[in-house]
Amino acid sequence: MFFASFCFGLLPYFARSLSDQGMPSHVIAFHRFTLAALILSPLLIAQRAKMRAILWGMGAGAAMGLGWIGYVTALRSAPVSVVGVLYMTYPVFTLLIAWLLFRDRPSLRAVGAAALIVAAAVLASRPGAVPVAVIPLLILSLAAPLGFGLGITVLVYRLTALPPLARIAAVSLGSVLGLLPLVLGTEGSRLFPQDGAGWMLLLGIAIGTALVPQLIYATCAPLVGAARTAVIGSIELPTMFAVGVLAFEERITLPQGVACALILTAILLNNKGAVAPVSCPK
């Protein structure tokens, strides 16, 4: 589980590096989900009698895939640490969507944790903490945690009829299909890397930050439990911070450091009523 969370935390390295090579954000998102969709989608054939759940998963996957475009776009110009903090607001969106769509009122503990996360997001991204020019990109990046929050609620309330790997298959396939129209409208020369280094990055984002950690989560999260999954998953954010410092020579400011501490505190505060995904593909 630690390894899976670490892999998810490495995602900004591959996403920004591919962006620096000129690959469009929607193409990067498409490639990240494609391998998992190709390998796991055949599992859905055995679950075809549960088509309603499969369609729910595909719909959530489409929202997640499209939302991920905002995340990749923000990484082009905004600090990895700030984009990472904003991505970790997905528990807030999860609580709101569960309350508004599925009438599941959050507990007081969950509301307190959400308040800490919101405070962290405001602290890390407020004018003065980041250049004003990147704030619109940071707002756009919130589409990713919004889509992920939707995916978690759909997992909890609509996909329990499917085995864990079939859930990943449905969501991954939905992400690919949701992004496909944008990919088909993209110039062919921009769809794939132009050198060996680019192909290694592409394999890294598809295998190392998607397929492998998703399989680990699907296998281990039900055994570990939701609370421990939430705590172990918290390593993802410090890993993102490390990527920004070591790979892109970013400097962690005091507001960003405090924001990270607030989010980790929120995860620990709410570790009895997990807001972290269990077997939900990221």
pLDDT at 54: 96
Rounded to an integer, the average pLDDT of 248-266 is 91
Written as six digits, the tokens of 78 are 């905004």
Give the SS3 label for residue 130.
strand
Task: Say how many CA atoms lie within 13 Å of 222 toward its Cβ.
Answer: 11
Question: What pLDDT, on the 0 to 100 scale, is given for residue 226?
Answer: 55
What residue spans define the domains of the chain?
2-269
The answer on pLDDT for 191 being more than 90 is: yes
Residue 20 has pLDDT above 70, yes or no: yes
- Tokens representing 248 are 């892109």
Task: Average the pLDDT over each of 36-50, 124-138, 244-258 and give the range with the smallest value.
Answer: 124-138
Give the predicted TM-score (pTM) of the model: 0.90
Alpha-helical runs (H) found in 234-282: 236-248, 254-269
Q: How is 51-85 classified by DSSP, letter by letter? A: HHHHHHHHHHHHHHHHHHHHHHHHHTTS-HHHHHH
pLDDT bracket for residue 96 (50, 70, 90)? very high
Return the pLDDT at 275: 45
Q: What is the pLDDT of residue 276?
A: 47
Predicted local distance difference test score (pLDDT) of residue 272: 53
Supply the pLDDT for residue 206: 95
| Cα–Cα distance list, 164 to 89, 145, 157, 217, 229 (Å) | 24, 21, 14, 9, 15
Q: How many CB atoms lie within 10 A of CB 195?
A: 9
pLDDT confidence tier of residue 170, bands split at 50, 70 and 90: very high
pLDDT above 60 (res 273): no
Residue 131 has pLDDT above 80, yes or no: yes
Give the integer Cα–Cα distance in Å for 166 and 154.
Answer: 14
